[in-house]
Amino acid sequence: MVAEGLLDGKRVLVTGGSGGIGRGISTVAAGEGARVAFTWHRNAEGAAATQSAIESHGAACLSISCDLTDPQTADNVVRRIEEEWQGVDVLFNNAGVSASIPFVLIDDAELAAVMELNFFAAFRLCRAAARGMIRRKHGRIVNISSIVASRSIAGPPHYAASKGALDGLTRSLAHELGPYNILVNGIAAGIFDGGLRASIPEHHQRRYLDACALGRVGAPAECGELAAWLASERNTYTNGAIVWADGGTLA
């Protein structure tokens, strides 16, 4: 008897899938039986590696190059998946950007760029995906946040603000969409290999490692495993939660 995967048959959308946590989620989802669509922007080499990792599990894959800061993109991406696979069962909002800039030097353009991708794009994607989920009365949304949104630790203020807004959206949607059997949760991620780690100054990374109970940064697949469970049918009651994934750094 072959064991079923956590996401068998699910139609999954992962944003920011060309590396880091996005690739980790995409690869784990594929290994758990899902069809995986992922978005990427600029990093064609990374996107090709993610597609290869997904297909190595025998999973169907859609690689979608797009700019999520364009207000029309969310609807277009969800529409394409609906045309190919007739729906989106699971949305993982992972795409994000950050830059280590002192607060007084952050100009309006830099603030807008971070908020546009980290919050507004996620908001639009939730809205676009939720329409079909409401019709089917079933769905899962997992928003990838950050520990800087939950606790006062060193981190770019505009990035922390964007993730705090995302956490608020997560909790609010859990209430609004719960009656339709749509569970919405977040993951407050610590430092993981790849992705935004390169934007974190070395001295902040050292402070993180000194505080981390496990003494290391996370592997993207570790976040992927947690995300897959939150999005699976085994999760029937965890809703509106922001789950910390930081190796015990803030414990």
How far is 42 from 176, CA to CA, in rounded Å? 35
- pLDDT at residue 6 in the model: 98
Q: What percent of the chain has pLDDT over 90?
A: 87
CA–CA–CA angle 239, 241, 246 (5° rounding) = 140
Q: Pick from 191, 83, 88: which is nearest to 139 by CA?
A: 88
* 113, burial (CB in 10 Å: exposed 0-12, middle 13-18, buried 19+): middle
Residue 225 included in any domain: yes
Residues 189-212 have pLDDT tens digits of 999 998 777 777 888 889 899 999
Residue 1 included in any domain: no
Average pLDDT across the chain, whole number? 95
> How far lies 97's CA from each of 3, 107, 115, 138, 146, in Å?
37, 15, 9, 30, 12
Residue 158 included in any domain: yes
Residue 3 included in any domain: no
- pLDDT at residue 66 in the model: 98
- pLDDT at residue 244 in the model: 96
Average pLDDT over residues 118-142: 98
Please provide the DSSP assignment of 37-97 as one string: EEEESS-HHHHHHHHHHHHTTT--EEEEE--TTSTTHHHHHHHHHHHHHS--SEEEE----
Residue 250 included in any domain: no
pLDDT band at 1 (very low <50, low <70, confident <90, very high): very low
Which structural domain range is residue 195 located in?
11-245
The catalytic residues are 159
The answer to whether residues 205 and 199 touch, using CB atoms and an 8 Å cutoff, is no
170 phi/psi in degrees, rounded to 5: -60, -50
Residue 114 pLDDT exceeds 50:
yes
Q: Pick from 21, 22, 59: which is nearest to 40 by CA?
A: 22
Residue 102 included in any domain: yes
Q: Pick from 151, 51, 60, 131: which is nearest to 91 by CA?
A: 131
The answer to whether residues 27 and 57 touch, using CB atoms and an 8 Å cutoff, is yes
Residues 27-78 have pLDDT tens digits of 999 999 999 999 999 999 999 999 999 999 999 999 999 999 999 999 999 9
pLDDT band at 153 (very low <50, low <70, confident <90, very high): low
pTM: 0.95
Residue 2 included in any domain: no
Domain containing 53 — which CATH number?
3.40.50.720
- Report the domain count for the chain: 1
